[in-house]
Amino acid sequence: MKWKRSLLLLWLAACVGLFSACGTQKAADTENTAKLLGFSQLGSESSWRLGNTESITRAAESHGISLMLKNANQRQENQIDAIRSFIAYQVDVISFSPIVEDGWDNVLTEAKNAGIPVILVDRLIHTEDDSLYDAYVGADFYQEGVRAGEYLVQKAERMKADKLCIVEIAGTQDSTPGLQRYQGFHDVVDQDSRLITLETVSGDFLRSKGKECMRSLLEKYGDQIDVLYSHNDGMTLGAIDVLEEQGLVPGKDIIIVTVDGEQEAIDGLKAGKINCVVECTPMLGDLVMELAEKLMAGEAVPKVTHPEEQVFTEFDDLSDLAPRGY
Ligand code: GYE
């Protein structure tokens, strides 16, 4: 099987132009030294995801790690196939962003039996056996939900509101950010008798579904809706399109709370169309490569690494905020 891997490394080396620059000697060096990381990205559903793929690609390059990148186009079975092909190629480390939490035990047992370490990126899995992965790099989604809820409590105080009715557009069902952004938020707002959730629906983290969800929520609840809490910016921006089509003023008629912090959402916050943006950074590439290097060297790594994240609200001065890069 090693010949397959050698061919792949030669091919990767050719792709980055090493052949043309220095001839075959350098390619041979690469073959001897370059470490190979197989990464299964779950899809391209949002700007967040595109930013994340770019971050992983750039970081692999700058760490001198050869990257075998596969896009699963939103299907778990494609991710499982990708992981199986990484095992067949005998990559040094396997990494992937699990689209949902369940259903990984079999393929990860195969990786473990092949002696290949695994880094989960962005999302977690649900398993009885934590030894099936070595490390997780990604946000603390529960805290993101808590931050969204805390903003709303603060907003209710400032408005001296005695009742605010919320509709929630959640992310992909059974995905870690969908589950935890829901839980963290409800652990805060359900304690506050002013904050009433009318309904939670799933928009699958897609802008198009954010539109559909907002349309049917408006049909059902009309002007009862005071707040939209949406689990990602893509769905939020879709919902805003619908509100504007229907003559409503987002940020004023309906308070908007969103998660991710992509440039378009920050622009919306600055324009007064969004009231609160909870940051979730996709810039995880360097953290992943640092862990991969340690695992490749046989060193111990922390089981969980969370990046630092913040909240941006209508009450903050955002004039110094650097361009987001996603
Ligand atoms: O919030 C959303 C994306 O898993 C944190 O997935 C990620 C989420 C992110 O599509 O925009």
Q: Is the pLDDT of residue 26 over 70?
A: no
| Residue 285 token pair | 């590439």
Residue 239 identity (one-letter amino acid): A
DSSP 222: G
From 167, 158, 142, select the one nearest 314 (Cα to Cα): 158
Please give the Cα distance from 286 to 65 (Å, whole number): 11
- The helix (run of H) or strand (run of E) holding residue 36 is strand 35-41
Please give the Cα distance from 198 to 217 (Å, whole number): 9
**Whole-number pLDDT of residue 18:** 42
Bridge partners, residue 103, by sequence: none
**Whole-number pLDDT of residue 7:** 54
Average confidence (pLDDT) over 280-301: 98
Q: Which of 40, 47, 48, 100 to mutate to test the pocket of ligand 1 (most atoms within 8 A of CB)?
A: 48
The answer to whether the CB of 205 is under 6 A from ligand 1 is yes
**Whole-number pLDDT of residue 25:** 47
Q: Do domains 35-139+283-309 and 141-280 have the same CATH topology?
A: yes
Q: Residue 174 Cα, ligand 1 centroid: separation in angstroms?
A: 13
Q: Residue 24 Cα, ligand 1 centroid: separation in angstroms?
A: 41
In this predicted model, what pLDDT tens digit does every residue of 250-286 receive, in sequence order?
Answer: 999 999 999 999 999 999 999 999 999 999 999 999 9
Reported confidence tier of residue 16, pLDDT bands at 50, 70, 90: very low
Q: Is the pLDDT of residue 27 over 80?
A: no
The answer to whether the CB of 177 is under 6 A from ligand 1 is yes
* 255-260 and 195-202 strand pairing: unpaired
Phi/psi of residue 227, nearest 5 degrees: -135, 140
Radius of gyration of the chain (CA): 22
Three-class secondary structure of residue 254 per DSSP: strand
Going through 73-232 in order, the beta strands assigned E by DSSP cover: 93-96, 118-121, 135-137, 164-170, 195-202, 227-230
The answer to whether the CB of 123 is under 6 A from ligand 1 is yes
Q: Which of 260, 263, 284, 326 to mutate to test the pocket of ligand 1 (most atoms within 8 A of CB)?
A: 260
From 1-10, 52-61, 70-79, 239-248, the region with the lowest mean pLDDT: 1-10
Q: Integer distance in angstroms from the first to the last C-alpha of the chain?
A: 39
Domain 141-280 carries which CATH code? 3.40.50.2300
The answer to whether the CB of 141 is under 6 A from ligand 1 is no
Q: What is the dihedral of CA 97, 262, 223, 201, to 10 degrees?
A: 0
**Whole-number pLDDT of residue 34:** 82
Q: Is the pLDDT of residue 29 over 60?
A: no
The answer to whether the CB of 178 is under 6 A from ligand 1 is no
What architecture is domain 35-139+283-309?
Answer: 3-Layer(aba) Sandwich (3.40)
Query: Which atom of ligand 1 is nearest the CA belonging to 260?
Result: 1
CA atoms within 13 A on the CB side of 192: 25
**Whole-number pLDDT of residue 12:** 53
From 100, 47, 90, 75, select the one nearest 261 (Cα to Cα): 47
Query: Which atom of ligand 1 is nearest the CA belonging to 233?
Result: 11
Q: Is the pLDDT of residue 1 over 70?
A: no
Q: Which of 53, 73, 99, 122 to mutate to test the pocket of ligand 1 (most atoms within 8 A of CB)?
A: 122
In this predicted model, what pLDDT tens digit does every residue of 103-137 receive, in sequence order?
Answer: 999 999 999 999 999 999 999 999 999 999 999 99
The answer to whether the CB of 260 is under 6 A from ligand 1 is yes
In this predicted model, what pLDDT tens digit does every residue of 152-191 receive, in sequence order?
Answer: 999 999 999 999 999 999 999 999 999 999 999 999 999 9
Q: Is the pLDDT of residue 39 over 90?
A: yes
The answer to whether the CB of 49 is under 6 A from ligand 1 is yes
From 85, 107, 113, select the one nearest 1 (Cα to Cα): 85
Three-class secondary structure of residue 261 per DSSP: coil
| Sequence spans of domains, the chain | 35-139+283-309, 141-280
